[in-house]
């Protein structure tokens, strides 16, 4: 279920990204306004969520491939899921400061 949810969230992001990029041809001023909103702490936290969704979707996709194409995959799918979750948590912890540094500096100072 989480794989599907993250896939839908990533699709939604890509749809919005294409729309806001296309806005530059319609009105460069409106595009600049939209891009300025992307520099807010709320959007920065949403970017961290996007990183989380993409990373989980990618790692879990590798697990799904292993379950489908490895003869022992179905037998070890639970262990592989927990491995994916563990790797995801470690990588998300490592991405915390690099992704959220702007927001952390904005809220708490440098």
CB 100 within 8 A of CB 41: no
Q: Across all residues in the chain, what is the average pLDDT?
A: 92
Q: Determine the angle formed by the axes of helices 77-108 and 41-69, rounding to 10 degrees.
A: 170
CB 37 within 8 A of CB 43: yes
Sign of CA pseudo-dihedral 6, 17, 44, 105: positive
Apex 33 CA angle, 25 and 15, nearest 5: 60
**Which pLDDT tens digit goes with each residue over 43-53?**
999 999 999 99
**Which pLDDT tens digit goes with each residue over 2-31?**
899 999 999 999 999 999 899 889 898 999
Kindly tell me if the per-residue pLDDT of 110 is higher than 80.
Answer: no
Query: In degrees rounded to 5, what are phi and psi of residue 34?
Result: -65, -45
């Amino acid at each position: 279920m989480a794989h599907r949810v993250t896939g839908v969230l990533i699709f939604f992001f890509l749809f919005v990204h294409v729309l806001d990029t296309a806005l530059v041809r319609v009105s460069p001023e409106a595009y600049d306004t939209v891009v300025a909103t992307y520099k807010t702490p709320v959007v920065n936290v949403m970017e961290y969520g996007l990183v989380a969704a993409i990373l989980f979707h990618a790692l879990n996709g590798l697990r799904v491939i292993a379950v489908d194409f490895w003869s022992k995959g179905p037998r070890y799918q639970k262990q592989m899921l927990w491995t994916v979750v563990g790797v995801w948590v470690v990588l998300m912890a490592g991405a915390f400061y690099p992704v959220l540094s702007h927001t952390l500096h904005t809220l708490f100072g440098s």
